[in-house]
Amino acid sequence: MKSIQIAPSILALENLNNLESELYTLEQAGANIIHIDVMDGIFVENKTPFLDPATIARVKSATTLSVDVHLMVQEPEKYVDGVISAGADMISLHCESNGNHNETIKKIQKAGRKAGIAINPTTNMEKALPFYENADFILVMTVVPGRGGQEYIEVVNEKIQKLRALFPEKDIEVDGGLKQATVHLPINAGANIIVSGTGIFNTQNYKETIQKMKQAIIIGADHAGYQLKEKVKQWLEEQKQSIIDVGTNSEESSDYPDFAKKVAKSVSKDATKKGILICGTGIGMSIAANKYENVRAAHVTSVYEAEMAKKHNDANILCLGARTTRVETAIQCIEKWLCSEFERGKHERRVEKIESH
């Protein structure tokens, strides 16, 4: 399961006067990667200050985050040495640009950096077939590259889905038109690194924005819960929720503790995460998930129970029974649980006792 990483694109900064303090704020806000666009005025119309490796080196020295350089240039071979010396950790080149891309990818990797192959929204995914395998990550452009602030192109979702199916282990980065309201689209198609410029910099509170962008519901089910999981996912997508599906993906017999483990482990590590687990009765899932630290998995069969599970028990995993609960009720339970707030006060004390006893 790939975790969601947020990569603010500093192309969206009005100028570089406050670069160091902006980078510090982004780091404190929970950003994972700093994305830099290098434009040569040929591959795309504009030029960026990052064409100068000294500017990339300035970014690198001011942050502990990974520095990700996206070469929107016609001849990446001309720029790659400078970018490597400037300290970039990730470097991507476009399959539509000129040169021997597999050689450039090798050069980047030999320097101990990650190499990515980038593909434009209008380019057929077959064009980059000779490079995917060798690259460490794939950068799927979700707008026509060249300038910030454009609208996300939804048809690209299909390309992301196909690439995810072909390369389940690779990082898939997306860039273009990404903000809080659109981030679920590429995530649900299979992307895991989200580049966002104005989607972060045009908001007041970077931390709040980044945390919201990272928020995905982790969902798992065994064979008995599979059908309901698919219906729940459909509903969550309609609600613009990002989802991470840990399986199962068929009705072939499977063991519920395996899926409970995947969901519970990831909720256990991060207090902001939420999970949904579905089996025949919901009981096995809750028993299995509650073995993990900081997990409060509530098995519910009614909307009232779902509401209380959040308000009084601060449940971070909701367990549902596909054989015991109707689809509509299950969805109503999830809706209520998601929109209810933990009431804190005496309930906080009680919840704390669950872990400390």
| Residues labelled catalytic | 37, 175
Q: Does residue number 177 form part of the binding site for ligand RB5 (CB under 6 A)?
A: no
Position among 9, 245, 284, 330 found at the interface with ligand RB5 (CB under 6 A): 284
Tokens of 135: 């690259």
Count residues binding ligand RB5 (CB under 6 A).
8
Position among 12, 29, 283, 327 found at the interface with ligand RB5 (CB under 6 A): 283
Position among 256, 259, 292, 337 found at the interface with ligand RB5 (CB under 6 A): 256
Q: Does residue number 279 form part of the binding site for ligand RB5 (CB under 6 A)?
A: yes
Q: Candidates 81-89, 94-102, 113-121, 275-283 — which segment interacts with ligand RB5 by CB under 6 A? A: 275-283
By beta carbon distance, the residue nearest ligand RB5 is 284
Least Cβ distance, residue 252 to ligand RB5 (angstroms): 12
Least Cβ distance, residue 280 to ligand RB5 (angstroms): 3
Q: Candidates 104-112, 259-267, 277-285, 334-342 — which segment interacts with ligand RB5 by CB under 6 A? A: 277-285
Position among 280, 292, 300, 333 found at the interface with ligand RB5 (CB under 6 A): 280
For ligand RB5, give the closer residue by CB, 5 or 286: 286
Per-residue mark of binding to ligand RB5, 210-229 (x: CB under 6 A): ------------x-x-----
For ligand RB5, give the closer residue by CB, 3 or 324: 324
Q: Does residue number 297 form part of the binding site for ligand RB5 (CB under 6 A)?
A: no
For ligand RB5, give the closer residue by CB, 190 or 280: 280
In three state form, how does the secondary structure of the chain look? CCCCEEEEEHHHCCCCCCHHHHHHHHHHCCCCEEEEEEEECCCCCCECHHHCHHHHHHHHHCCCCEEEEEEECCCHHHHHHHHHHCCCCEEEEECCCCCCHHHHHHHHHHCCCEEEEEECCCCCHHHHHHHHCCCCEEEEECCCCCCCCCCCCCCHHHHHHHHHHHCCCCEEEEECCCCCCCCHHHHHHCCCEEEECHHHHCCCCHHHHHHHHHCEEEEEECCCCHHHHHHHHHHHHHCCCEEEECCCCCCCCCCHHHHHHHHHHHHHHCCCCEEEEEECCCHHHHHHHCCCCCCCEEECCCHHHHHHHHHCCCCCEEEEECCCCCHHHHHHHHHHHHHCCCCCCHHHHHHHHHHHC
Residues that bind ligand RB5 (CB under 6 A): 222, 224, 256, 279-281, 283-284
